[in-house]
Amino acid sequence: MENKNPGEWRLFMQYINGEPMYIVGRQRDMNTVLHSGNIEYRGKYTKREEAEKLRQQLLRGEAE
């Protein structure tokens, strides 16, 4: 799916085994509804600090 009007990278949280875990993602097209098929993810579910580090790298263009 092509990014027509992507949103900013942000953290998404999901409880996994009772623990809050985070993944970095952004809305692929801001002109459509936010749903799981309209989110582009990077990395994997991790602790908040690790996910925030990746988010900052993506915002600075240091990670793909």
Summarize pLDDT for 15-43 with one digit per residue, the tens: 999 999 999 999 999 999 999 899 999 99
Domain positions in the chain:
10-60
- Per-residue b/e over 29-61, b at no fewer than 16 CB within 10 Å? beeeeeeeebeeebbebeeeeebeebbebbeee
Q: Is the per-residue pLDDT at 13 higher than 90? A: yes
Cβ neighbours of residue 6 closer than 8 Å, sequence gap 6 or more: 26, 27, 28, 29, 30, 40
pLDDT of residue 47: 98
> What is the average per-residue pLDDT within 46-57?
97
pLDDT of residue 5: 82
The pTM of the full predicted model, rounded to 2 decimals, is: 0.86
* Tokens found for residue 55: 């988010």
